[in-house]
Amino acid sequence: MRKSLRAVVLAALVCLACSEKENPAGNDPVVRSVGVGATSLVLPFGESADIPFWVEDKDAPVGEIKLLLAGGKEPVEFFVKGITPGEVKGSYRAVIQDAGLGESYERDVHIAVVQRNPSSGNEYYVQSPAIRILSENDPAGTVKTGLPVVYVQTQNGQAVKSKTDFVPAEIRIRGAEGLPGLDPAACQIRGRGNTTWEWPKKPYLIKLDEKQSIFGMPKHKRWVLLANFMDRTLMRNLVSMKVASMTSLDWTPGCVPVELVLNGKHQGSYLLIEQVRVDNDRVDITEMTPQDNAGNAVTGGYLLELDFHYDNKYQWTDPHGHNGQWGNGIPFGVKYPDEDDLTTQQLTYIKKYVSEAANALYGADFQDPEKGWRAYLDEDSFIDYWIVFEVMGNHELGNPGSVFMHKDRGGKLVAGPCWDFDWGVLSYNTSPQARTGLINGKAIWYERLMKDPEFKARLKARFEELLPQLQTIPDFIDESERRLTASAQLNFAMWNPAGDASMNGGEIINGDEKMSFPDAVARLKKIYQERLEVIPRNL
């Protein structure tokens, strides 16, 4: 946190006597006067700065201080964040925090050391001379887009350069849109992502020291800030999570568009989203221990990621199935239990279960309810998961990338949750076949599942059941456009989404990177509406 302050240092100690003229009863040393080392302090927006003060009675304890205006009230624009002892006995530094209200201010306040009369028990204050506290011009003054603003200040202003090494930091949030803010909270921050981490606008992972609810979402330590660098609409992930939330999938990450200010610099429009984690309020499966190695205990829970990046420590390729341009076989990785906790017995079990499920799916009796795939896979979840990917035109179910499955103790393999819908979503650029047909008809195990007439009939019926809800998404896109217009204007003044071509063989990815924001949104909505017409014709 910033330790510097902009203040005029006094040449001599100035003191103000105790407000009680008579000595309070008692033998313990008390504070009788307070001096300050500055007459003014400038507070950066959303940040803190400190100011030195001292007490004449060096042995008197200083446990609590307040900031008081001339009338005795406390200011609302800033507050005392803490006190740290100085190098000399009786000296201290008061850490003053801007409250993040986004308003300019100039206030004369006194540092008031809280004292208590041991005879009467009454509380009284010993005040310093007045200090003028001013707001710095809001470095995020251009960030008033109507969206909540997330402020992250790293320790000593350290840059975030790694996807593996956390940097100590503090986070606070200025609420908006009727959403609550977040008081300053200790956290750590690091980078995240695969290809997206290589782009100039970086995505981040926030790990709070203590669980916190953000924007009303359930308490958790881990939150992700998605950069949406290549998404000219800024809403592919937002819309996808909205679609997923309409299904019966076990859990879909909650998310809110925000502005990010990192170390005082506006970074643009981000999506704050719940990270995929095993937890009662996220992927709600049995939490395993290293002792769960046999019997029913070893059967779950597990969180698996199917991803061609192969960046999980424990991973393998199951030879069954097809994953498009990446050849035959499906890449599986274990996300939970964590790599430090996963035992050999657990890894052996889940690999064997996946293999048995695939053998049943591709075996001669694959439609048999006891011998076939239904004994291993949760049919409803695999249907809804496919529908989300297909409606959104996400071809990564077939690569696959960021595809998740989970298995609870004693249960079947369940599809989900949905994650990472920015690459090629609702774009004929990456999936030209989407104009007239299906994108994921042959993705992973679905080519085989589609050969089961009952599965295909249930999938078609489920799509028709969801269609009335899916038809409300164009209105949600319009609403999101209004919500994001000001944010997009600032974001694209800083970042050029067409820069993603440098990571894609010189070709832009989504196909709208060079469009205006309104044109890109209109294109997104048009393709979405076309998907709702094309899909039922091909089922």
Over residues 483-527, the pLDDT tens digits come to 999 999 999 999 999 998 887 888 899 999 999 999 999 999 999
Indicate whether 80 belongs to any domain: yes
Q: How does strand 15-17 pair with strand 131-135?
A: unpaired
pTM as predicted: 0.77
Indicate whether 37 belongs to any domain: yes
C-alpha closest to that of 206 among 250, 144, 264, 271: 271
Tokens of 236: 């592919």
Indicate whether 77 belongs to any domain: yes
C-alpha distances in Å from residue 328, one per residue of 319, 398, 400, 445: 7, 11, 11, 11
More confident: 177 or 255: 255
The per-residue pLDDT for 264 is 79
Q: Are 152 and 146 in contact (CB under 8 A)?
A: no
Q: State pLDDT tens for residues 19-38.
A: 333 344 456 788 889 999 88
Q: Are 5 and 49 in contact (CB under 8 A)?
A: yes
Domain of 107 in residue numbering reads as 15-135
Indicate whether 40 belongs to any domain: yes
Tokens 């940040």 -> residue: 47
Cα 314 from Cα 334, distance rounded (Å): 6
Tokens 């999101």 -> residue: 480
Indicate whether 84 belongs to any domain: yes
Q: State pLDDT tens for residues 289-325.
A: 999 999 999 999 999 999 987 778 899 998 876 544 4
Cα 226 from Cα 213, distance rounded (Å): 18
What is 53-100 written as a DSSP string?
A: EEESSTTS----EEEE-TTSPPPSSEEEEEEEE-SSTTEEEEEEEE--
Local confidence band at 119 (pLDDT 50, 70, 90 cut-offs): confident
Cα 84 from Cα 69, distance rounded (Å): 22
Total domains in the chain come to 1
Indicate whether 308 belongs to any domain: no
Cα 130 from Cα 51, distance rounded (Å): 13
Indicate whether 73 belongs to any domain: yes
Q: State pLDDT tens for residues 123-133.
A: 888 999 998 88
Indicate whether 472 belongs to any domain: no
Q: How buried is residue 206: exposed, middle or buried, by Cβ count under 10 Å (0-12/13-18/19+)?
A: buried
Residue 336 has pLDDT above 90, yes or no: yes
Q: End-to-end CA distance of the chain, in Å?
A: 57
Residue 276 has pLDDT above 60, yes or no: yes
Mean pLDDT of 213-220: 98
Any idea what the CATH number is for the domain that residue 66 is in?
Answer: 2.60.40.10
* Phi and psi angles of residue 295, each rounded to the nearest 5 degrees, phi first: 60, -150
Tokens of 151: 């402020």
The per-residue pLDDT for 77 is 86
The per-residue pLDDT for 1 is 38
Mean pLDDT of 409-423: 97
Tokens 């832009």 -> residue: 508
